[in-house]
Amino acid sequence: MDISTAVVTSRLTAQQRAMDVSAGNIANANTPGYRATRVQFSDWLSRQTNTTAPPGGQTIAFTQDRATWRDSRPGSLTHTGNPFDLALTGDGFFTVDTPRGPRLTRDGRFTPMPDGKLADGAGNPLLGTNGQPIQLSPQDTRVTIAGDGTVSSENGQLGRIGVVRPEDPMRLNAEGGTLLDAKSATVAVEAPGLVQGAMENSNVQPVLELTRMINDHRHFEFVAQFVQAASERGRDAIDRILPSSR
């Protein structure tokens, strides 16, 4: 493979990655609490040695997929009237206890389990500020949740929902559409701004994402055509050279 084809192939791989990320965003456009992801590209410079022009070698710039980053803008709120639907209006995440350990989430659709614990749709218990699950009893029939996360009923205060933020947001690792592994220590958010009876929608804008994906697909097709044309030129050159060497 010549240098030009290698450079273009790196761009082809990058465009494929961009389309995959956009497709994931579109698939989660209706996932509560989902934050759209974006691809970060950069140039990877490679200096070619043993060349005569220019002196010292030629610098070749490849397209490099450095990382993905998460759009931190909050989604809009939908008021559901369900007392166990919770939305965060400010910074931070809920913490749920999964079989793999504590995970962060903005998806505030919780429900009481048969054992009285508040849990997400997968049955992962919602944790309080003390690191223990929020526990309800059969006698707690009128549950209210304050803006600071304090959970109360007609029987008194039951606990306080923990809302935290990671010390290093760049290390957040997505696990599915709603769960995140912090990969670093977390600190409590002092004023989380919980809203009871509401849920945060995905911040994905489907029309914008679809437009971006169409544009990425056009670039992908253009680059693929270039690679195909380069391959055909190579075959034509070989066909011209081989007969003359016989």
Bigger pLDDT: 51 vs 31:
31
CB 180 within 8 A of CB 105: yes
Q: Which of 78, 64, 55, 70 is nearest to 201 (CA)?
A: 78
Task: Indicate the pTM of the whole model.
Answer: 0.72
User: What are the pLDDT digits (tens) for 55-101?
Assistant: 545 554 545 555 677 888 889 999 999 999 999 998 899 999 999 99
Q: Token pair of 89, please?
A: 């209006």
User: What are the pLDDT digits (tens) for 122-137?
Assistant: 999 999 999 999 999 9
| Mean pLDDT lowest among 123-127, 205-209, 235-239 | 235-239
Q: Which of 229, 235, 230 is nearest to 2 (CA)?
A: 230
6: part of which helix (H) or strand (E)?
Answer: helix 3-27
Band the pLDDT of 43: cuts 50, 70, 90: very low
SS3 48: strand
Buried/exposed 99-138: b ≥16 CB within 10 Å, e otherwise: eeebbbbbbbbbebeeeebbbbeeebbbbbbeeebbbbee
Q: Which residues contact 102 (CB under 8 A, 6 or more apart)?
A: 95, 96, 127, 182
User: What are the pLDDT digits (tens) for 162-203?
Assistant: 999 999 988 888 888 889 999 889 999 988 899 999 999 999
